[in-house]
Amino acid sequence: MKIELVFIPLPGIGHRKPTIELAKLLVRSHDRFTITVIIIPSINNVADDSTYIASLSTKSQDRLRYETISAVKEQPITADPKQPTQVYIEEQNSKVRDIVLRIVDDPTRRLAGFVVDMFCSSMIDIANEFQVPCYMFYASNATFLGITLHVQLMHDEKKYDVSELEESVVTELEFPCLTRPYPVKLLPYLFTSKKWLPLFLAQARCFRKMKGVLVNTVDELEPHALKMFNNNGGGDHLPQVFPIGPVLHLENIEKQPEILRWLDEQPAKSVAFLCFGSMGGFSEKQTKEIAVALERSGHRFRWSLRRPSPYIMTERSGDFTNLEVVLPAGFLDRTSDTGKVIGWAPQAAVLAKQAIGGFVTHCGWNSMLESLWFGVPMVVWPLYSEQKVNAFEMVEELGLAVEIRKYFRGELMTGEMETVTAEEIEKAIRRVMEENSDVRDRVKEMAEKCHVALMEGGSSQVALQRFIQDVTYNIM
């Protein structure tokens, strides 16, 4: 009899793709595992999301199946595209339950547990109904997981509300997952917002109930943060953690687009790559500052430039229709030999090229893992979600990145972003492109550790085997 796991990823490319890659990894690692991935469409049903979901339905196999549900639309709350993600996910419970019932009724499969996304933690209630354990796949890092749990602990046990700290004299917070104090100015909007904080507190309480958490990180990358869980330094009811990363979706580009062919012709480590994720876009004013910085730096560049989204929770960034309008006059002509402004870019494929010497990133965790995997040092420019934490960790804790500035006021979730000057951007690009910098050496060393972690006997391979043993032990 096959051992069945139900995977429930969050809608959205940054969560769904690594979750599916983890499912593939588990199926390859244990010949008795079968996995059903329940696909919940995005709340706004964007075209590219629908295309990707349609492509998955053709890839179902005997041991890895994809079940797509139709999102609930009849409830009034769903009509609001700005509702919190957690609320939208909870609305899908009945559809998820129906799929699980069909699995339970199949005599060839034995349901062994759920693996849910960090934003789908409320699905633990359905796992409890079927009396199976619920695990979580945490698509971010151990540091942010530790901060989230500690913020919840402070709130519930000490009535300490971090959303009120902006009006207090407190400037730093101590977190057991960090070796140094964390600036209050760098708390993500998710924690400083009276609207979002209660949802994240509820989410953290669910985290503590999980049978275990698979974290997309590497033991050698975040040893101190992981020690918090090993030593139970964050209070009671901490779940066991399995650092099984890096789990990466490395695209197979069969026919190389022009950008990849051009990179093959450039000297090693000579090109700065700027890319800010599927939701990262900039105003015309900020766009001009970036252009001035690139031209002044004198370095070759490839810049994935997107227009800002009116509201990133419901609409991704798009391409500008006329670059001549948003860029400085004559910029494209003056930089035609050394640089190119593009729209969408196959990010992982670009980072894999030897020509890339530095990566200016929005600090999405998947992007940072890809950069480390390919040994490319980063310039951090956090734009939303937990990215200020990611940037702090990479620069201050680990020394694997270069900062543009210490503090960024505003973020894309509020629609208000402070303009970063050309001088600041140019300085950071020059620093990250230095040939023999300490940052470049540390990134190269960490890249080697990430590769070793996934090899036989490596730390992530060992953690994955521990998870497999935990699942199989539950059904004995």
* Cβ atoms of residues 175 and 148 within 8 Å: no
Query: Would you state the pLDDT for residue 293?
Result: 98
Tell me: do 296 and 184 sit in the same domain.
no
Q: How far apart are CA 54 and CA 259, in angstroms?
A: 27
Q: How far apart are CA 8 and CA 92, in angstroms?
A: 11
- Tell how far CA 8 is from the center of its chain: 16
**Which of 198, 209, 201, 97 lies closest to 151, judged by CA?**
201
For tokens 């480590």, what's the residue?
A: 269
Is the per-residue pLDDT at 409 higher than 90?
A: no
Tell me: do 151 and 182 sit in the same domain.
yes
Rounded mean pLDDT, 443-466: 97
Tell me: do 226 and 273 sit in the same domain.
no
Query: Would you state the pLDDT for residue 80?
Result: 55
In this prediction, residue 320 has a pLDDT band, given cuts at 50, 70 and 90, of: confident
Query: Would you state the pLDDT for residue 256?
Result: 67
Rounded mean pLDDT, 285-295: 96
Q: What percent of the chain has pLDDT over 90?
A: 72
Query: Would you state the pLDDT for residue 81?
Result: 54
Is the per-residue pLDDT at 233 higher than 50?
A: no
Tell me: do 143 and 265 sit in the same domain.
no
Query: Would you state the pLDDT for residue 292?
Result: 98
DSSP-assigned letter for residue 307 = B
Query: Would you state the pLDDT for residue 85?
Result: 81
Query: Would you state the pLDDT for residue 78?
Result: 44
* Cβ atoms of residues 211 and 149 within 8 Å: no
Query: Would you state the pLDDT for residue 49?
Result: 65
Tell me: do 352 and 411 sit in the same domain.
yes
Domain residues for 355? 258-450
Query: Would you state the pLDDT for residue 60?
Result: 74
Tell me: do 148 and 48 sit in the same domain.
yes
Tell me: do 320 and 245 sit in the same domain.
no
Element (H, E) at 412: none
Tell me: do 240 and 363 sit in the same domain.
no
Mean pLDDT of the chain: 90
* Cβ atoms of residues 335 and 295 within 8 Å: yes
Lowest mean pLDDT among 39-43, 197-201, 284-288: 39-43
Lowest mean pLDDT among 61-70, 311-320, 347-356: 311-320
Is the per-residue pLDDT at 258 higher than 50?
A: yes
Lowest mean pLDDT among 193-207, 296-310, 386-400: 296-310
370: domain CATH number is 3.40.50.2000
**How many domains does the chain divide into?**
2
Tell me: do 105 and 196 sit in the same domain.
yes
Is the per-residue pLDDT at 211 higher than 90?
A: yes
Query: Would you state the pLDDT for residue 253?
Result: 61
DSSP-assigned letter for residue 192 = H
Tell me: do 60 and 193 sit in the same domain.
yes
Is the per-residue pLDDT at 475 higher than 90?
A: no
Tell me: do 50 and 142 sit in the same domain.
yes
Token pair recorded at residue 406: 């210490």
For the stretch 63-108, pLDDT in tens is: 999 999 876 554 444 445 566 788 889 899 999 999 999 999 999 9
Is the per-residue pLDDT at 235 higher than 60?
A: no
- Cα distance between the two ends of the chain: 12
Query: Would you state the pLDDT for residue 316?
Result: 66
In this prediction, residue 50 has a pLDDT band, given cuts at 50, 70 and 90, of: low
Tell me: do 48 and 149 sit in the same domain.
yes
